[in-house]
Chain A
């Protein structure tokens, strides 16, 4: 079974530029999550989708971050404009459903904002 796929693996941009990350969840997984993992810290949930609807985006900085999950499968996370403090690893995870289901993580995209 294929795992959660993310691209790119690495991205370096300058502040005020925009960037987008892509995630393809495990086939059949209805729930998709985006986490931000700052160096030396644990992952923090940014947004959770159930199919193509948003379940929780309370920690998403909506003035600069946006995410979508068209057709309830792939998802993109965008940052525009990027700030220095956005440097982090962005992890995508998926699960079969909501409460009680195990989350499976992708390898992440490491973003460096210069």
Chain B
């Protein structure tokens, strides 16, 4: 069974930093692309970033590019999202997701979500 266990959310001051983690089990982590998707309170889903299985290709939304870094450690079966220069509009529940394939953008399994609140 695919499991994605997220950690790292919380309350952070504007301008602060946070690192989200997503531990994977139940599948061959190194063979699948992984993504982050967020959802602001009461709003729809918004894609944030994708990293291919090998880590060679990385994509970001315009809203986080230059402030966030997606990475993966295939030896630890873990996905990360380092978020810097956080703004109030980054407040959201962040979900990690396993892609359907090595380079796919389609998420077939989701983490439980972690809430990031940016507020003074």
Do A and B bind? no
Chain A residues within 8 Å of B, Cβ to Cβ: none
Chain B residues within 8 Å of A, Cβ to Cβ: none
